[in-house]
Amino acid sequence: MSSGRTGRRQKNRRRLPGPAPSTLIRWLKAAALTLTAVCLLGLFSTEIEDTDFWWRLRTGQFIAERHSLPVPDPFAYTTSVATAYRGEEQVRHFNLTHEWLSQVLMYAVYVVAGLPGIILARAVLLAALCALAGFLAARLSASFYLGIAAACATASLAVTFTADRPGVVSFLGVAVFVTLLELRRGWWALPPLALLWSNCHGGFLLGWVALLAYCAETVPLRPARDMAA
């Protein structure tokens, strides 16, 4: 009898519930994802060094308070000087107006959270760029950890563009467009995103480049589909 009871106890001990392998894998992935996100935010949270930052912040304040674009530039004494070459007035007008929304948003963040808010906003934008690159890499390779590696590889390049300039919006805009085009869903969001992007930075044309590239990709597939039909 005692040997039988001992055998049953040993079997019960062996059957004690433990963490399932799938649960453990999910926890490891969540930990890796969290650690990567924290590292990316820390990597991009550098101090403000852009010498033009004051001008962009002051321009955003000018637009927000006067509800008009800064043409001519009210913060440069050279704006009243005669043009040096043909077409300079158009170039100057473009340079002063194509980033107006980014400058207003930058000023709004500064009013709410000060310089730390500016740094955090920049870090979030660049981290989102890396996250989208990692997401696409993980989806195409069917490997979560390759996606993490791709996000880190993107960060190694993006860290050289940590200046507080509206150009950061174009980096993220390209990533968003490519992600939506790759997923083959959410295309209804492309027009409003393009409208928003076009008022933030002149690099919105890169969105059209991405769209044309995906359109061109489908051209060679049409004959094969017709033959299959």
Predicted confidence at residue 211, as pLDDT, reads 92
Tokens 């934008």: give the residue: 125
pLDDT tens digits, one per residue of 169-196: 999 999 999 999 999 989 999 999 999 9
- Is pLDDT at 17 greater than 70 in this prediction? no
Q: Assign residue 10 a region: left if phi > 0, alpha if psi is -120 to 50, beta otherwise?
A: alpha
The reported pTM is 0.81
Q: Chain centroid to CA 217: how far?
A: 24
Spans of all domains in the chain: 28-228
In this predicted model, which residue has the larger pLDDT, 14 or 168? Answer: 168
- Please give the mean pLDDT across all residues of the chain: 85
Q: Round to whole Å and give the CA distance between 70 and 62.
A: 7
Instruction: Give the per-residue SS3 of 34-60.
Output: HHHHHHHHHHHCCCCCCCCHHHHHHHH
Range from 8-17, 57-66, 199-208 carrying the lowest mean pLDDT:
8-17
Predicted confidence at residue 22, as pLDDT, reads 82
What residue type is assigned to position 227 of the chain? M
Predicted confidence at residue 85, as pLDDT, reads 66
Mean pLDDT value across residues 195-216: 92
How far lies 163's CA from each of 45, 49, 103, 159, 177, in Å?
11, 7, 14, 9, 22
% of the chain beyond a pLDDT of 90: 59
Whether omega before 72 lies within 30 degrees of 0, making that bond cis, reads yes
Q: Round to whole Å and give the CA distance between 209 and 191.
A: 14
- Is pLDDT at 206 greater than 70 in this prediction? yes
